[in-house]
Structure formats: C-alpha cells, structure tokens
Amino acid sequence: ISFLMNQRVLGFGGDSALQWVRTADKATGEVHEVPVDGCFVFIGYVPNSAALAGQVEMNGRGEVVTDESLRTSVPGVFAAGDVRATRVRQVTTAVADGTVAALSALDYLKSAQ
C-alpha cells in the first residue's frame, strides 16, 4: 500500500478494472498518473465544523458532542458523521449516523407539535 499525501484526485481509469489514478499535487499542481490495483480516498481528520463554533458544544478537536440520539447541546440541532465526536470514522458509521439523526429529528418535530 502506498500513501499519496496532499493530492487532489482528478480521475480514475482502466480498461475493465481500475488500473490508474490521476492526481495533482496540491502545492505544485504537478499531475501524476499512478498505476494501481485499488484505491481508498481519504480526506482527513479535521471535522468541517467551523460554522458551528460557539453554537453547539464541541470537544478540543472541534468535533460536535452528541448523545446517543445524535442530539447536540442545542435543542433541535443534530449532528451526524465525521463532524461529531465518535471513535469510529467509516462510511458505514456515517451513513448509520444519518439515519439515527433523521429519525431523532423526526421524533423531535413530532414532540414539538
């Protein structure tokens, strides 16, 4: 396994299966076409939570703190996926978070009526 850091993915290619990934270096713009057998794209560890700073409770890493129903410290505001404080950061858990947050929001709206 090779790690390509600070790259922007431009495209994927191959005949009947993935054979290469084209990337551009974020600093220099230099384009690379890398032969591959597979590819995992990883964006990073920094949660995209700046818009919520000072609005909801966050931990020291800038992750939104939630309860098990994904409620934040503000009533009616829910957080899901990698923006929230959680141990596991995978696509599958983020998708599950979306379901839990949506159902919790629905319950919240029903109780507000």
Residues above pLDDT 90, as percent of the chain? 75
Taking 80 as the threshold, does the pLDDT of residue 110 lie above it? yes
Task: Name the more confident of 88 and 43.
Answer: 88
Could you tell me if 83 and 51 are in contact, meaning their C-beta atoms sit under 8 angstroms apart? Answer: no
- Threshold 0.95, pTM exceeds: no
Could you tell me if 97 and 70 are in contact, meaning their C-beta atoms sit under 8 angstroms apart? Answer: yes
Name beta bridge partners: 34.
21
pLDDT tens track for 47-66: 889 899 999 999 999 999 99
pLDDT tens track for 2-25: 888 899 999 999 999 999 999 999
